[in-house]
Amino acid sequence: EIVMTQSPDTLSVSPGERATLSCRASQSVRSNLAWYQHKPGQAPRLLIYGASTRATGIPARFSGSGSGTEFTLTISSLQSEDFAVYYCQHYNNWPPLIFGGGTKVEIK
Amino acid sequence: EVQLVQSGAEVKKPGESLNISCKGSGYNFLTSWIAWVRQMPGKGLEWMGSIYPADSDTRYSPSFQGQVTISADKSISTAYLQWSSLKASDTAMYYCARGVYMDVWGKGTTVTVSS
């Protein structure tokens, strides 16, 4: 079973700064990788699929890159509404579908 | 508007059965996978399993195989997550979501299991 490892566990960032989140797969998932944002009391929201395609309505400050085993989610200039937990998830040759453990982006 | 509407919060006792639901609207319910995702208190997201309503193809996480049953009623565009005998450790928020990358999510159903 593929293991998805996210780093760091917590990222402290000031508003307006850039945030870079990492996701590593234990074996290649090609570009079959999604990113989600999850805020307390809300349902998760799809940000990125296909490793780099923004979902409908997602602002351009969110970008995804990578393929194979190494992936990055970049938030170019953090807004107050971006403080949340972010998860990666692979969907290559499933089942199973596997989420990473999450990265919490908090206000510095 | 594409949406998934989940049933309301549940409070149950250990050993009881439970069936929670997820009704899709605004799209062709038959031709998109519906996933169930668990979030235990203070923890991350875990995929439990998915169903393809058109043919009821159902796939489970090894962690949840045999612990829950996923089903769907095509006639009313509704997917279900069922437990035959709840445990305290089933206390969690349960989300349904559309697709293998999950582009539409229900608001979640809180399940509390306590004696």
Report CB contact under 8 Å: A44, B35.
no
State how far the Cα of B87 lies from the Cα of B36, in Å rounded to an integer. 18
- Closest chain B C-alpha to A95 CA, distance in angstroms: 7
State how far the Cα of A36 lies from the Cα of A72, in Å rounded to an integer. 12
Chain B contact for A46, CB < 8 A? yes
- Residues 7-66, chain B: which have Cβ within 8 Å of A? 35, 37, 44-47, 49-50, 59-62
Q: What pLDDT, on the 0 to 100 scale, is given for residue B109?
A: 98
Ranges of residues in chain B with a pLDDT under 70 are: none
Q: What pLDDT, on the 0 to 100 scale, is given for residue A106?
A: 96
Q: Which residues of A touch B35 (CB under 8 A)?
A: 97
Which residue bears the tokens 């875990």? B46
State how far the Cα of A44 lies from the Cα of B3, in Å rounded to an integer. 14
Ranges of residues in chain A with a pLDDT under 70 are: none
Enumerate residues 6+ apart whose C-beta is below 8 A from A21.
Answer: A6, A7, A11, A72, A73, A74, A75, A86, A103, A105
State how far the Cα of A95 lies from the Cα of B101, in Å rounded to an integer. 13
Report CB contact under 8 Å: B59, A94.
yes
Mean pLDDT score of chain A: 97
From B62, B97, B103, residue closest to A55, measured CB to CB = B103
**Residue A46 exposed, middle or buried by CB count within 10 Å (0-12, 13-18, 19+):** buried
- Closest chain A C-alpha to B50 CA, distance in angstroms: 9
Report CB contact under 8 Å: B103, A38.
no
Report CB contact under 8 Å: B102, A44.
yes
User: Residue A76 — left, alpha, or beta (φ > 0 → left; ψ -120 to 50 → alpha)?
Assistant: alpha
Chain A contact for B95, CB < 8 A? yes
Across the strands, what pairs with A67? Answer: A70
Q: What pLDDT, on the 0 to 100 scale, is given for residue A37?
A: 98
As a residue count, chain B comes to 115
Q: Which two three-digit tokens encode residue B43?
A: 């923890």
Compute, in degrees rounded to 10, the torsion defined by CA atoms A25, A97, A2, B111: 100
Q: What pLDDT, on the 0 to 100 scale, is given for residue A95?
A: 96
